Structure 1
Amino acid sequence: MKESLARLLDLQNIDLEIDALGRSRVEFPTEISRLEEKLDLSRKDVEGKRKQSEDLETNRRLMEGELEAIQEDLKKHQDRLYEVKTNREYDALQHEIEALKNRMDENETGILEGIELGDGLKERLEEEEATFKELESESLATIKDLKKRLGSVEDNVKEWEEKRAVVEIQIEPRALSAYNRIRKLIKTGVAVVQVEKSSCGGCFRQLPPQLRVEVRRQDQIIRCENCGRIVVWKDEDAD
């Protein structure tokens, strides 16, 4: 039984490695998805600002074209002032000229505001593009590494399962059965613990003297009365 108890610790270490690999099967794809989603959102944000900048530039050019047309129309109206023959025609033409001047002022103001907005947006866009490139570089490298590690998980699990099979046959059936049963009941998967300073190494409850004596004999399966784990002796531990 002493040998079986020692091998139980070895078996547990192997099982904890297999558990960690099992978590990797879930955690790695989850982290990959999180990084890809974050990268996609950042990319869309940059693309949105780039589109906004392009729209501002297009709108500015349209307003500049419209301004040129207004200026030409204004010049024609002003030239016609010398051709009118009645006060009524003159007043009507002046009214149209004032309207054109107002439109011209509005366009000029709109163009200046567009330039100011565009310059500010371009500056922010340059900063965000630089930030995105850095994020993209880091994220793609991490994703590549996670995919590589995920690809090796199955091989690693197989290796540890082969090691488990070797250790398993060295353990007495009733000890192995008790270990497997207890391990399923404990969330952390730690079913076997050593005595630590006269206490259970799992829940740290002080072990009764008689129980410590029984554990030290290492000739039977002893479980902690508090947490139910299998308790094995640690050679350097003292009563």
Structure 2
Amino acid sequence: MANTKELSVEDKLRALYDLQLIDSRIDEIRNVRGELPLEVEDLEDEVEGLSKRLDKLKADLESIEDQIKEKNNAIDEHKAGIKKYTEQQKNVRNNREFNSLTKEVEYQELEIQLAQKHIKEMKASIEHKKETITQSEQKLEDKRTHLQHKKSELDAIMSETEKEEQFLLEKSAEYQAQIEERLLAAYNRIRTSVRNGLAIVSIERGASAGSFFTIPPQTQMEIASRKKIITDEHSGRILVDSALADEEREKMEQLFAKL
């Protein structure tokens, strides 16, 4: 940090203004992307959620089909039981044995009726599940297509801007390293508190850029002297004179032109 202490106030202002121009350029690049990265992330989450729901629906369908097989097997067993008890009735020795076997036959018939009722209900459930699965598959396909489109859109923008953004991020880090921590902390605090991310602005026609509040002539002279860091009492932004701003903008435009 020894080098930063040797900087004059003017050098600090120039470094800050250069940093602002670089960071604003990064902001522009990210604004071009807009909400695309978030949209892609949300769509990926949606696709994953729909895919899991579809898997569960298909697993439920298989489970119901297995239950129907079990019920059909049980019906076959009950029919075999009826046949067995009916045959046994031919060889009974008294009414008590006959009545006991008759009750067994009736029980088996009731079990068959109950199983058939359950099968009917499960078949209706299968039809509903199949319809839901078809709708879910269509919705998932639509979302995947939409996601692919958005990803392609984002990839195209990223391929155009990624190299420039990386270069600018490195330059931003270089300029930040030149600025003392206290001043850099103030810059970052102001940048995050204002809507357009401008923490340091120039005087334009007697007012701070982007503001309608006039700067008193005495303050304008102090700003132009570049002897101390002065902030706008209304917005809290750090102020520089327009001549310094013009010089630094021209310097940065030459840097950006190399990209």
Stretches of structure 2 lacking an aligned partner (at least 5 in a row):
1-12, 244-259
Residue 10 of structure 2 is matched in structure 1 by: none
Residues 175-231 of structure 1 deviation map (CA, whole Å, 9 limit, x = unaligned): x979x85644522442333557854345x472344257649xx95448444114215
Q: CA deviation at 1:20?
A: 5.7
Closer, same or farther: CA 220–191 of 1 in aligned 2, 3 Å: farther
In structure 1, what is the Cα distance between the partners aligned to 2:169 and 2:89?
99
In structure 2, what is the Cα distance between the partners aligned to 1:124 and 1:151?
40
Residue 237 of structure 1 is matched in structure 2 by: none
Match of 1:229 among 235, 238, 245: 238
Q: CA deviation at 1:29?
A: 7.3
Query: What secondary structure does 1:84 align onto?
Result: coil
In structure 2, what is the Cα distance between the partners aligned to 1:107 and 1:161?
70
Match of 1:191 among 181, 187, 199: 199
Asked whether the equivalents of residues 208 and 239 of structure 2 are also in contact (C-alpha less than 8 Å), the reply is no
Residues 38-62 of structure 1 deviation map (CA, whole Å, 9 limit, x = unaligned): 3222211110111101111121122
RMSD, aligned CA: 4.3
Query: What secondary structure does 2:191 align onto?
Result: coil
Stretches of structure 1 lacking an aligned partner (at least 5 in a row):
169-175, 235-239
Query: What secondary structure does 1:230 align onto?
Result: strand
Asked whether the equivalents of residues 224 and 231 of structure 1 are also in contact (C-alpha less than 8 Å), the reply is no
- The one-letter amino acid paired with 2:214 is L
Q: CA deviation at 1:35?
A: 4.1
Closer, same or farther: CA 187–97 of 1 in aligned 2, 3 Å: same
Residue 69 of structure 1 is matched in structure 2 by: 77
In structure 2, what is the Cα distance between the partners aligned to 1:120 and 1:196?
69
Q: Which runs of at least 4 in structure 1 moved beyond 6 Å after TM superposition?
A: 8-11, 22-25, 27-31, 161-164
Query: What secondary structure does 1:126 align onto?
Result: helix
TM-score, normalisation: structure 1:
0.67
In structure 2, what is the Cα distance between the partners aligned to 1:162 and 1:100?
82
- Please say if 1:207 is aligned against 2:191: no
In structure 2, what is the Cα distance between the partners aligned to 1:143 and 1:136?
10
Residue 88 of structure 1 is matched in structure 2 by: 96
Residue 118 of structure 1 is matched in structure 2 by: 126
- Please say if 1:41 is aligned against 2:59: no
- Please say if 1:140 is aligned against 2:153: no
Query: What secondary structure does 2:198 align onto?
Result: coil
In structure 2, what is the Cα distance between the partners aligned to 1:33 and 1:228?
35
- The one-letter amino acid paired with 1:102 is L
Closer, same or farther: CA 158–110 of 1 in aligned 2, 3 Å: closer
Query: What secondary structure does 1:190 align onto?
Result: coil
In structure 2, what is the Cα distance between the partners aligned to 1:75 and 1:115?
28
Q: CA deviation at 1:96?
A: 0.6
TM-score, normalisation: structure 2:
0.62
Q: CA deviation at 1:21?
A: 5.4
Query: What secondary structure does 2:201 align onto?
Result: strand
Asked whether the equivalents of residues 232 and 239 of structure 2 are also in contact (C-alpha less than 8 Å), the reply is no
Residue 67 of structure 2 is matched in structure 1 by: 59
Residues 87-121 of structure 1 deviation map (CA, whole Å, 9 limit, x = unaligned): 12201111111210121121011111111211112
Closer, same or farther: CA 115–177 of 1 in aligned 2, 3 Å: closer
Identity %: 21
Asked whether the equivalents of residues 81 and 90 of structure 1 are also in contact (C-alpha less than 8 Å), the reply is yes
Match of 1:130 among 134, 138, 160: 138
